[in-house]
Structure 1
Amino acid sequence: MLRLKRTLLFSAITLVFTAATIFVTGTPVTKANTDVKPKAIYKVETDKKLVALTFDISWGNKVPEPVLEVLKKQQVKKATFFLSGPWTLRHPEIAKQIKDMGYEIGNHGNLHKDFSNYPDSWIREQVQLSEKSIHQVTGVKTKLIRTPNGDFNPRVIGCLNGMGYKVIQWNTDSLDWKNPGVQNIVTRVTKRVVPGDIILMHASDSSKQIVEALPQILDNLRKQGYQFVTVSELLSNASVSSKVQ
């Protein structure tokens, strides 16, 4: 009898909890939606030879404009730039040039610190500050974000998704910021690239060899049959292949 009472009590509590959840969220509790995990986007699954060239900028004014000149000379009309808030305010003319050239602009945060070391309130504040700076200078309301240092965990991604952002990582890393040599940068990108790839490069002054490496990368990728698209265009072409760290 006691066991029956306990069972009935547990069932009643479960029903109350479920009803409350539906009332608050409008979504019934199911195993499917409780098991959903936040994910970052590394590439997309596609048979099309499409790649997204992405450039992070958080420091300096010596490299960004030469990178833009290479893209213009090579007639690359599609790329995605992730800009930090402080850099955008310090170099508004370059940020506007990126926008005027038709390139996609994403958010790269405000302070260049690992998001996973801070609470959600700090993350939201930092992203909003950067978002405001980018919008003030370029008029763009960012919807894509690449976290500083590419740092995140499921909690961070969940927080950013809750702000309406898609978290963009990369599948091919040029390692250009390490300045390993022009040919090493070219080889890393051109040998690792796959259809649907998101390629990480930098247009910050810390990347001292990207301007020389970039023309070779672009020529090689074109010879392999690749077309350049923005991250958003890439996402619209296929289902997303994602993973969580």
Structure 2
Amino acid sequence: MSTRLEGKTALVTGATSNIGRAIAEAFAAEGAHVVVSGRSAERGREVVEGIRARGGRADFVAADLDGSAAASQALAREATAALGGRIDVLVNNAGIYPADVTAATDEKTFDRVYAVNVKAPFFLTAAVAPAMAEAGSGAIVNLGSWIARLGIPVGALYSSTKGAMETLTRAWAAEFGPQGVRVNAISPGVVLAPVPGEEHPAEAMMKGTPAGRMGDPQDIAAAAVYLAGDDARFVHGIVLDVDGGRTTAAVIAG
């Protein structure tokens, strides 16, 4: 077991599946005590039991981050208690992705997506960052998306929320950085857990990229470990593209 996060505590939202789960498992493997947060207690227990079986430390805290300040504040309190009184690392990962086109998006969906994807992490950060600042150290990692900067014809609503999170990353770096709290973001490309023998339709979006394939959740988790740890102590306010070159290199159709 590596120890790049030894002695640190971490809260990962949306940690019961896919990218969030991979980040929680990677943090625990690096020595962190992790709070796995999500809506499903069954899936949360599964993640926690797996981490503990491998010798890591983890607890589950249920949370339905609906965008209300109260829900985010409750999660901050419960996670802080589960982690022994402090949160060293916060990963704002939880989010929802409706893929409708603009004209098919109703107001209720609009409000819900902004509530979950922007308001919830905003108020969770507001609840967690001041204690980090008072302690003089901490790291916040937000999850953006490659489609925040490279337009695709569906999912305009989702991409705008991720653009908001990338903007908040820079603003929070300026706000909290002088008090010892580093705030950065990861912009994943097309990332799905691999299924042996199956080709997912989303793979077409990665053809012709430098990587030539979809990403794996562990690819994002490795970046999160870096940004959360002391190796990134001089890194503030960046959006780290972990997208196989999707947004930085010309895509050559093959």
> Do both proteins adopt the same fold according to a TM-score greater than 0.5, normalized to the shorter chain?
no
Structure showing greater radius of gyration is 1
TM-score where L is the length of structure 1: 0.37
Indicate the structure whose relative CO is greater, using CA pairs within 8 Å and at least 6 residues apart. 1
